[in-house]
Amino acid sequence: MNTQIDHLVIGAETLAQGVSYVRKSLGVDIPAGGVHVKMGTHNHLMQLGDDTFLEVISLNPELESPERPRWYGLDDPFVRQQLRLQPALLTWVVNTQDISALMRQANISFGTVESVSRNNLDWYFGVPDDGRLLAGGMLPYAMQWLTEMHPSNQMADLGCRLQGLEIYHPHPAWLLSVLESIGAEKLIGVHALASDQVPYLAAKISTPNGIKTLYSLENMLRNSV
């Protein structure tokens, strides 16, 4: 199965807050993307190299709330409370040429495949019925682009490149078994934590200002205590 890292997802209470966070963290101004009417969200986007990109996403106050929970845990009270304090890396997304096959082979549920569109882009996306983050964001969402060229090639190139995505988890064998079932175990680094520690993500990105690291909510909260 040809599974690749597609993009990283930074959640924010507002897009302005998310753009400011990226400017502070990476030293660049991430440009506007578009609107996801079906999910009630909007985003900003930029390339991270090798058909990969960075997304800043938030609820769109100009859209009605969807009848179903939004993706990326954005309707989860805990996630929303934390994003009011500061944007954070929520999760990652992988793409495949056959999302139905990926879903069948996965040894846990990655949600239901839905058709999503934004402007002139169309894709299939696996969304849990409750919109939750998979394993708290440690496991990726899955998608399939319905385009000949990866959309990141049309996004702004601000000189940032993903150097590596690391997952720190108290149950690394379980995590790797799930990733292996969707052909994603070699895409990231997995590191063991003590059984009483909270898992987190760390994305290393080369920028015009040197190597920077984006962390998930759990690690940010830990470091703020």
Average pLDDT of the chain is 93
Nearest to 217 by CA among 63, 12, 59, 28: 12
Q: In 98-197, which residue ranges form alpha helices assigned H by DSSP?
A: 99-105, 172-181
Nearest to 134 by CA among 178, 185, 170, 95: 178
* Token couple for 225: 């205590």
Residue 115 class from Cβ within 10 Å (0-12 exposed, 13-18 middle, 19+ buried)? Answer: exposed
Which position has the higher pLDDT, 187 or 65? 187
Residue 181 has pLDDT above 60, yes or no: yes
Residue 94: helix, strand or coil by DSSP?
strand
Residue 223 has pLDDT above 60, yes or no: no
* Token couple for 74: 């954005």
Residue 225 has pLDDT above 70, yes or no: no
* Token couple for 121: 């882009």
Split at pLDDT 50, 70, 90, the class of 224 is: very low
Question: Running DSSP on this structure, what letter comes out for residue 21?
Answer: H
* Token couple for 117: 């569109």
The predicted pLDDT at position 68 comes to 86
Residues 119-136 have a mean pLDDT of 92
The DSSP element (H or E) to which 189 belongs, if any, is strand 189-192
Residue 222 has pLDDT above 60, yes or no: no
Beta bridge partners, 93, equal 7, 141
Burial readout 190-204 (b: 16 or more C-beta within 10 A, e: otherwise): beeeeeeeebbbbbe
Percent of the chain with pLDDT strictly greater than 90: 86
Please give the single-letter amino acid code of residue 182.
Answer: I
Percent of the chain with pLDDT strictly greater than 70: 96
The predicted pLDDT at position 148 comes to 87
Residues 34-57 have a mean pLDDT of 95
The predicted pLDDT at position 218 comes to 60
Split at pLDDT 50, 70, 90, the class of 119 is: confident
Q: What are phi and psi of 36, to 5 degrees?
A: -110, 90
- Under 8 Å between Cβ of 57 and 72: yes
Residues 6+ apart with CB under 8 A from 181: 105, 106, 107, 108
Q: Tokens 């690394």, residue? A: 172
Residues 84-97 have a mean pLDDT of 95
Residue 107 CA: distances (Å) to CA of 56, 140, 180, 208: 29, 13, 9, 40
Residues 183-207 have a mean pLDDT of 96
Place domain 4-154 in its CATH homologous superfamily.
Answer: 2,3-Dihydroxybiphenyl 1,2-Dioxygenase, domain 1 (3.10.180.10)
Domain boundaries of the chain, sorted by first residue: 4-154, 161-224
Residues 80-86 have a mean pLDDT of 91
